[in-house]
Amino acid sequence: MKQLITRLKQSCQKHVLVIGDVMIDEYFFGNVNRISPEAPVPILLEEGKEWSLGGAANVAANCKHIGLDVSLIGIINDKDHEGQRFLAQLESNKIAVAGVVYSSERQTTCKRRFLSKNHQMFRLDTETTHPLTAEEFAVVKARIVSMLKPGAIILVSDYAKGMVTKELMDFLRQQAEIFQCRILVDPKGPDFEKYYGVDIIKPNLREYQQMVAYFNLPVENSIEANGRLLCDVLGLQGIIVTLGEKGMVYITQDVCLTSPAYKREVYDLTGAGDTVVSFLALGFAHLLPIEDCLRLANNAASLAVSHIKTYAVSLEELISRADEMEEKVFFDWALLKIELDWLRIEGKRVIFTNGCFDIMHPGHIHVLKEAKRLGDILVVGLNGDESIRRLKGASRPVNNVSSRATMLAALGMVDFIVPFDDDTPAALLEYIRPDVLVKGGDYKRESVVGYELLRSYGGEVHIIDFLQGHSTTNIIKAVTQAVK
C-alpha cells in the first residue's frame, strides 16, 4: 500500500469535476456544566467557533488535498452570511469559485453542530431544497460545458438539496458520452431512478436499503443478489455499498468483492462518505484495479473518522501512517507475494500453516507458536466462509472470515493472513511457495496437501501435535448443550 500511495503522489494530476449540493459546516465548541432553569436542557457555554466546507464542497476539498485537478459546480446565495463564509472557505482551500452559481432565491445550506468535549449535542440546519429553476439550470449547464475535460471523472455528490435533478443527470450523461468521462455518484433518495445509466453508484447501507425498497426488490435477498439486480434496473457498471465498520462491497453482474474496514477509534463520522468517494475517484482516475480503489478508500476513511469535524485526508498522511495502517490481512494474493519476495531478499524464512480458526482456543495458539519457531515470517492461510460451509456444514463458520482474520491479526506471532476459497490451500501454496509448511494434528507428512510441492523445491513439512482436549467442534457442542 505504501508503494502504491507513493506512486499516486508522484503521478500527474487527473481531472475530477465535482458537482452537487454544496454547504458550509459551522461548529460551536463549548462546555456544559449546568442545566437551564428555563427548561430541562443543558447550557452550552461557547468557547470557540470554526467553519469548514460541507457536502459536495467537502468532496472537492478532499479531492484537492490528494492531488486531483478539481473543478467544483454548486449553487449558493452569495449575499447571505453563510454564502460569504462558504466562498472564504473555498479560497482558503485553494478551490476555484468559477463553477459556483449564485442565486438570490435560495439559502446557502448550513449545518450548525454544537459540541461539548468533542461530543455532538445537536445540529441546526438552514437550507433550501426546491429543484433548480430553469434559469439556474441553464447557468449550471453552461458551467459544465465550459469546465468538463476529456477523460475526467464526474463525481456527483447528492445531498437532496435540489441541485441534483433528473434533468441534471440526463445532461451529465450526455456530456460524459461526448467527453468520454466516467460518472461516480454518491446518492441520496428518495428518487433513485434519476441515476439510471451512470457508471458507479456508492450508497451507504441505509441508502442501499432505501433503494431495495424503492425498486421493490426482495428484502430477503443478500446484498450481493440485490446489488446485481440494482445494476440491472439502473444500467450500472457496478455498485459499491459502504458498510461502516464492516468495510465495503463492490458488486457487478459478474463480480462481488468485499474490502474489510481498517479498525480505528471513531470520533466523528461527519464526512466519512465524502472521503470514501474522493479516494474512489482518485483510484478510478488512475485506472487502478478495483481492489486497490477499495483499499485506498477504506484506509482513508479510517483516518477521517478519527478526527473531529470533516477532515481532508492527504496522501502524505497515508504514507506517514502506512506502517501503522498496514494490515496483516491480504485478500489479494499478488500483494502478499510482493511482500514475501521483499522479505526473502532480506533473507527471511517463510512458514505457512492453514485452517479455519473459527473459534480460537489454546490448541490453535500452541500450533501457531510452534510454527513461528521454525522460521521468521508466519503466513496463515484462512479458509473462506464458503470453503468452511462445504467442509463443516451449513452451520459453520460461527464467525465470518473478516472476524476470524481480525482475531488472528491480533496475535503477535502471526505476520500475515491470506484467505482462500478452495477446499485445500494447494493453489495458494503453489503461488507463494513457502520455505516451511506446518500442519497441526496427527497427519503423516506424506499425506499433507502440499507435501510433494515443497519436496520438489527443497521445502520442509512439519507436523505439530494438537494439545489434547481442545477442539472447536467440542466448544460448539458444549455451548449448544449449555443453552439447552
Contact yes or no for 244/235 (Cβ under 8 A): no
Residues with catalytic annotation? 274
Dihedral class, residue 441 (left if φ above 0, else alpha if ψ from -120 to 50, else beta): left
Instruction: Judge contact between 239 and 253, C-beta under 8 A.
Output: no
- d(CA 79, CA 66) in angstroms, rounded, equals 31
As to burial, measured by CB atoms within 10 angstroms (0-12 exposed, 13-18 middle, 19+ buried), residue 427 is: exposed
Q: Are 109 and 161 in contact (CB under 8 A)?
A: yes
Cα–Cα distance, 153 to 185 (Å, whole number): 10
Q: Are 90 and 53 spatial neighbours (Cβ–Cβ below 8 Å)?
A: yes
Cell triple for 154: 464526474
Q: Alpha carbon 292 to chain centroid distance?
A: 11
Q: State phi, psi for 106 to the nearest 5 degrees.
A: -125, 155
